[in-house]
Structure 1
Amino acid sequence: MDSELYRYSIPRPDGSHKVPSPAEIDEIATTLGLKDTVAGRYSSLLVAQLFHWGIRDLGRPVGLVEEIAALDQGRPGIMGFKSPDNAQSESTFRGPLLEGLKHHHFLDPETFQYLLERAMHRGVPPNEVPRFFRAERERNRLTGDWLIYTEHGVTRYYLALGRHGHDAFIHNAIVAHCGDEFPFLRALAFWPE
């Protein structure tokens, strides 16, 4: 069994799990609106991650699909944010494991809740929480959530979701699942020789 996609498997009523088939990936992408938004430019890995993400809250992947549409159209999204210098929320990876790929920062509701809890744990009064969030953003600590994509020519291809500190995991997942869907990835610097 493919261990990485198993991580994003579909739970069955009997408690077992099933790796999504290509037909199920297609159905999930259609249901979430991803197929209409960026047809042919999303990986099965991303769809499986979005499905897994939405098991507890369908609004999460639907919101991220809207974020993908906004990013693709060059307009502000609902989950992304700009850096303190007002630059776009997009960055190119610099480390060797993900070199040649890009990521879009977004603020997931669970991350927002974590930041709110962190503020409360530090004794930040409720009326000071916005200032705390601004300070976290200025220290580049506001989010740990990424939408990982690449550009081929002038077209964006959406590959995976990721988080700060998980470069090796992200690298291995993309190498294991995205090369057959997007063979041009093999020419990028991060791809193993």
Structure 2
Amino acid sequence: MGLDPSILAGFGTSEHDVQSFTESNAGLAGIDTSRLSKFLLVQLTSAWKRRTLNTFAITDVIQHLEGRGPNRSNTAKPRQFNGESLRGLWKVHFFDPRFLTRNIYNEWSVFSPRSDKFEKLCEHVVAEETENPSSGGWQGRLAHEFVVEGYKRRAAKQRLTGEWLIFGVHEQKNVYLALCAHSDGPEQDAEIYSALLNLCGDEFPDIFATIAGGE
């Protein structure tokens, strides 16, 4: 594959693992894997081998972006980066069950001091429980509204969030680079650019010739 053996070791994979995943995984059926970076294939192989992520959560997104299937993830549409370091690249969210708590908190703005959404939810539960008592009590009703209805509301608005799949576009074709956690600002954007350049720059020089961080 041409990847640094230390990267393979760090992800607990081998070149044989990556080859097996790439050739046999149903999520990549019909996909031109030459437009997936070697590093991304290592990330996917590691997630599959170690069961840290459902790889279909990512391959379904790729299938959709390639026009081969619907958006099953109910995540937001792809967007270009705005920051200077990554301008010219694109990001799209993928969703995995381990991101469930984050999405529920986001739906009810739990950590926003300016929002009263959670307070209004509690008031609604109290009113409903007073008018029509449930067998599970207010605790059960609140848990259901907070978790189940919160998730359903978020999904219906196609605002589920997770982590990023970062990709570029060259000659009207997507080139998929890496999975990445969210950035908190320009400093982390610069770190992401540096990592992507180091890991994927030699493989896809045309992509990096067009993004802001490479100017």
Per the TM alignment, residue 168 of structure 1 is displaced from its structure 2 partner at its CA by 4.1
1:30 to 23, 29, 32: 23
1:24 shift after superposition: 4.4
In the TM superposition, 1:13-28 aligns within 5 A as 20-21=14-15, 24-28=17-21
Shift of 1:148: 0.9
Match of 2:41 among 15, 22, 47: 47
For this pair of structures, how many residues does the alignment match? 174
Equivalent residue, structure 2, for 1:86:
none
Task: Indicate how the Cα distance of structure 1 residues 112 and 43 shifts in structure 2: closer, same or farther if over 3 A, else same.
Answer: same
Change (3 A) 1:136 1:29: closer
RMSD, matched Cα: 3.3
Identify the structure with the greater helix proportion: 2
Matches within 5 A, 1:147-162: 147-162=165-180
Q: Conserved in 2, the CA contact under 8 Å of 1:42 and 1:157?
A: yes
Query: Alignment partner of 2:202: what SS?
Result: coil
TM norm structure 1: 0.71
CA separation of 1:9 and 1:169: change in aligned 2, threshold 3 A? farther
- Aligned residue number for residue 209 of structure 2: 187
Q: Which residue of 1 aligns with 2:92?
A: 104
> What percent identity do the matched residue pairs reach?
27
**Bigger strand fraction:** 1
Higher RCO (C-alpha 8 Å, min separation 6): 2
Q: What TM-score comes out, normalization by structure 2 length?
A: 0.65
Matched residues in 2 for 1:99 and 1:8: separation?
A: 28
Which residue is 1:94 aligned to? 82
CA shift digits 1:35-62 (9 cap, x unpaired):
7422311001111111222234387113
Change (3 A) 1:100 1:40: same
Give the Å deviation of 1:107: 1.4
In structure 2, the CA distance between the partners of 1:96 and 1:157, relative to structure 1 (3 Å rule), is same
Partner of 1:8: 11
1:91 Cα offset (Å): 0.3
* Cα distance change of structure 1 residues 131 and 169 upon mapping to structure 2, 3 Å threshold: farther
Answer yes or no: is the 8 Å Cα contact 1:32–1:65 preserved in 2.
no
Unmatched segments (≥5 aa) in structure 1: 11-19, 83-88
1:171 paired to 2:193: yes
Aligned to 1:78: 72
Structure 2, unmatched stretches of 5+, are 111-117, 123-141
Match of 1:146 in 2: 164
Q: Aligned partners of 2:68 and 2:146: how far apart in 1?
A: 32
SS in 2 for 1:65: helix
Give the 3-state SS of the residue equivalent to 2:66 in structure 1: helix
SS at match of 2:54: helix
CA contact (8 A) 2:190 2:213 kept: no
Distance in 1 between residues matched to 2:176 and 2:190, nearest whole Å: 18
The structural deviation recorded for 1:169 is 4.4
Residues 116, 128 of structure 1: alpha-carbon distance in 2 compared, 3 angstrom cutoff = closer
